[in-house]
Structure 1
Amino acid sequence: MALDIITKPSGSELANRISETLIQLFDQVKPGVVQVTGKGRGNGAGVVWRADGAILTNQHVVGNQDSGIEVHLPDGRKFEAQVVARDSTLDLALLTVAASDLPAVPVADSSQLRIGEMVFAIGHPWGIKDVVTAGIVSGLGTVTAPHNGRTATYIRSDVVLAPGNSGGPLLNAEGAVVGINAMIFGGDMSVSIPAHVAAEWVAGIPSRRVYLGVGVQPVELPETLKVGDWSERSAGLLVVATEKGGLAESHGVFVGDVLMEIAGTPVKDAESLRSALNLSQRGSSIRLGLLRGGTVLALDVNITDTAGQ
């Protein structure tokens, strides 16, 4: 929603319109701005890049961690995240969580930004959740990042940022992402990674989606099959077909098996299966939890060669 400022409004009218627009923009975007936490590290922010569980944040928010990263959504949901890719030069990291219904924030063409344009930031400074600040674009160009000494393209603005804003979105007056907030220089200049640079980087990440090669259908478990750690589970996925030469068949999955979990994530329908596979896409192997004739089985499936499928 754009700022609607007509010719020669009074000072109070202009302030009220800007204020109302900012309130509406915050309500519109807030569901897609997450908090990212990690063991032994400070909190940062992130933006829901895609509804399928893709979260974009700064590399310095997650560091070199591969585990212990959590994503907290404004609706109260919490997910363990895996790092899909990271780039210390751009200071970007792409995370994935086991969800497929996230409220993605629209992304604008930041190459069209103009100096003087109003921009807004939403983040969690000093651990205080969902704080909005506003300012204007004060410069476009390159800066040398203090964390690695490398030069990259950035947006400069006077939007107030603090620790905890890193990885959150810089937004235009339409509520679309124009940048990923990255750092503060000298206390009064904030720097953000242009959204079009981030989008190009994400688009260049090789796909590693896992294709098991199975046909499945949801099935309710009879009491006789509720065994062991799965005694409280009510449903799973019945394998009704396997693709010849596919991952599942080549690793010993049979028609009639009931798939219960993937890499520790329960599966019971198409959505949970897709989310579990997305979460597993960066590993070299995944463990399938199966029921076969009342017996619990664990099969390790090597997915090293499935990139791009």
Structure 2
Amino acid sequence: MKKALILTTAAVGLVAAPLAMSQVIQDTPQPDAPLFQPVQLLGGNDSMTFDRRRGVITMAPLLERVTPAVVSINTVTESGTPDLTDDQMEMFERFFGQSPRNRGPRAGLGSGVVVDANEGLILTNNHVVDGADEIQITLEDRREFMADVVGTDPQTDLALLRIDAPRLSALDIAETDDIMVGDYVIAVGNPFGLSSTVTSGIVSALGRENPRGGDRYEDYIQTDAAINPGNSGGALVNSKGELIGINTAIVSRSGSSAGIGFAVPTRTIRNVMAQLMEFGEVRRGRIGVLIRDLDPELREGLDLPSLRGALISEVVEDGAADKAGLEPGDVVIAFNGEELDDSSDLRNAVGLLTPGTSADITYLRDGKRRTTRITVEVVEEDRDELDASATDDIPSMESFSGATITDIPDDLDLRDGDDGVFISTVRRNSRAARAGLQRGDIIRRINRTPIADLDEFEDFLSDNDGPYALVVERNGRTMFLGVR
């Protein structure tokens, strides 16, 4: 999985256009020739056509097939702030520095891509629909439909929706292995609410991680096609009109396009979609290892040929890797047919497989290349779990009704350490959901009191009535929530 940044511009995709147009003009078509004629670019690319009536090269015929499959998504999230007494209001304002009474419903905007016209399935970003009470889909022909959530996966920032609508257009999904740095690409979405907006560029790099970090599975396509707020969940397509990625993030100091956008690739899309359709969530497994990147000192000390691969620093006893014969000091260089550059590549490759799946794993030991078979195992979480919907012995737990709360999983690499409790599930439209809690949240403090684990969380709620001011870590960021 090669990672390299190519600094160039969208004009590269057109280098052969003047020659091609000259050839078309010299070979003047007969009167009965088609209006649009393919322009032969490098490699036989037919995304550009020559409109002989206007005398211009255009992508219009290609976009006529693509844009009907890209939809606008509008969401409404009701305020999660409850009615408070004056004393409770004073405490809330002391913790948060503002009054919650004037907060009304919040609107959101994004894009989506129809991936199955018969089933009405639409793929988008999880952050576009996360916590929404209403999701409205607007098609290119201005028809509007309310959508249901089939499933979401915050760790890849993907969500699958369904609408009941006739006459839908869907995009074909390309194979990720067919994508190369330098490929001409087109981004379609609804930036700033401007529907069916098209921008173009090239694939700038592959296998990117978001520089902002976070505990996610990231293997992004980087592109210089302009992506702006509202493009999230929209399509990144190749010159054949095939979907190669879902636009999900940008790097920009201004918040607008700076020519560095990221899209979730189709390798991830295919695997996540399959599990969302079957389970409504993504069930990931592990192979039972702790891994790290290589550095020059380790490379020299272990006499390795390069810095590529993931170094196994620990093997869990009786785990999948242990059963496959892997040992600390082995350097994994390929998994399931994919070459690996670093430890994040291995984490992503394993995370895309459903537990129970077997795959080849290739590693270096004592200078020799070895390959064996390994079976991805279900993550066994040996920790207590508190279902706030069914807890009668702590009356104040009713404030968190609809949430399942656990100790923080061992496999999470969190910015602020392992103190706190983990929200493993939140039922839609529950009291916890209306308060703004989401699956994956880490509760660090309650009313300025640090929480170390589930026992301290229960003890605090047993001794203190609500409302509660929570300090929550979400996707690497700290935020505050008020829970009544």
In the superposition, the TM-score normalised over structure 1's length comes to: 0.61
Distance in 2 (alpha carbons) for counterparts of 1:11 and 1:42? 47
The answer for the alignment partner of 2:390 in structure 1 is: none
2:72 corresponds to 1:35: yes
Amino acid corresponding to residue 87 of structure 1 in structure 2: D
2:115 corresponds to 1:49: yes
Which SS does the other structure have where 1:126 is aligned? helix
**Percent identity over paired residues:** 35
Distance in 1 (alpha carbons) for counterparts of 2:233 and 2:211? 15
The answer for the alignment partner of 1:299 in structure 2 is: none
Deviation of residue 197 (structure 1)? 1.3
After TM superposition, the structure 1 = structure 2 runs for residues 230-309 of structure 1, keeping only pairs within 5 Å, are none
After TM superposition, the structure 1 = structure 2 runs for residues 154-303 of structure 1, keeping only pairs within 5 Å, are 154-186=220-252, 187-207=258-278
Change in Cα spacing, 1:139 to 1:68, as seen in structure 2 (3 Å) is same
After TM superposition, the structure 1 = structure 2 runs for residues 114-153 of structure 1, keeping only pairs within 5 Å, are 114-144=180-210, 146=212, 148-153=214-219
The answer for the alignment partner of 1:103 in structure 2 is: 169
The answer for the alignment partner of 2:479 in structure 1 is: none
8 Å contact from structure 1 (residues 119, 170) kept in 2: yes
**With CA pairs under 8 Å and 6+ residues apart, which has the higher RCO, 1 or 2?**
1
Q: Which digits, 9 at most, give the CA deviation of each residue in 1:225-270, with x for residues without a partner?
A: xxxxxxxxxxxxxxxxxxxxxxxxxxxxxxxxxxxxxxxxxxxxxx
8 Å contact from structure 1 (residues 125, 161) kept in 2: yes
2:60 corresponds to 1:23: yes
8 Å contact from structure 1 (residues 53, 99) kept in 2: yes
Deviation of residue 195 (structure 1)? 1.7
Whose radius of gyration is greater, 1 or 2?
2
Distance in 2 (alpha carbons) for counterparts of 1:206 and 1:17? 38
Change in Cα spacing, 1:36 to 1:123, as seen in structure 2 (3 Å) is same
Distance in 1 (alpha carbons) for counterparts of 2:271 and 2:190? 26
Which SS does the other structure have where 1:106 is aligned? coil
Distance in 2 (alpha carbons) for counterparts of 1:176 and 1:81? 24
In the superposition, the TM-score normalised over structure 2's length comes to: 0.40
Deviation of residue 20 (structure 1)? 3.9
User: How many residue pairs get matched?
Assistant: 209
Distance in 1 (alpha carbons) for counterparts of 2:209 and 2:15? 33
Amino acid corresponding to residue 23 of structure 1 in structure 2: A
Q: Which digits, 9 at most, give the CA deviation of each residue in 1:52-91, with x for residues without a partner?
A: 11000000111122x3111111112111111111111111
Distance in 1 (alpha carbons) for counterparts of 2:261 and 2:23? 28
Q: Which digits, 9 at most, give the CA deviation of each residue in 1:91-138, with x for residues without a partner?
A: 100001112542111111122101000000111111111110000001
Deviation of residue 205 (structure 1)? 2.4
Which SS does the other structure have where 2:192 is aligned? helix
2:126 corresponds to 1:59: yes
Distance in 2 (alpha carbons) for counterparts of 1:27 and 1:5? 23
Deviation of residue 139 (structure 1)? 0.2
Distance in 2 (alpha carbons) for counterparts of 1:197 and 1:119? 18
Which one has a larger percent strand, Structure 1 or Structure 2?
Answer: 1
Change in Cα spacing, 1:95 to 1:147, as seen in structure 2 (3 Å) is farther
Query: What is the root-mean-square deviation in Å for CA atoms of aligned residues?
Result: 3.1
Deviation of residue 206 (structure 1)? 4.7
2:119 corresponds to 1:77: no
Distance in 2 (alpha carbons) for counterparts of 1:3 and 1:24? 17
Amino acid corresponding to residue 46 of structure 1 in structure 2: G
Deviation of residue 147 (structure 1)? 7.8
8 Å contact from structure 2 (residues 160, 276) kept in 1: no
Change in Cα spacing, 1:208 to 1:101, as seen in structure 2 (3 Å) is farther
The answer for the alignment partner of 1:305 in structure 2 is: none
8 Å contact from structure 2 (residues 174, 266) kept in 1: yes
Deviation of residue 189 (structure 1)? 0.3
The answer for the alignment partner of 2:335 in structure 1 is: none
Deviation of residue 5 (structure 1)? 5.6
Distance in 1 (alpha carbons) for counterparts of 2:213 and 2:131? 13
Change in Cα spacing, 1:45 to 1:147, as seen in structure 2 (3 Å) is farther
Amino acid corresponding to residue 192 of structure 1 in structure 2: A
The answer for the alignment partner of 1:301 in structure 2 is: none
For structure 1, list consecutive stretches of 5 or more residues without a partner in the other structure: 210-281, 284-309
Amino acid corresponding to residue 196 of structure 1 in structure 2: R
Change in Cα spacing, 1:25 to 1:150, as seen in structure 2 (3 Å) is same
Distance in 2 (alpha carbons) for counterparts of 1:201 and 1:154? 14
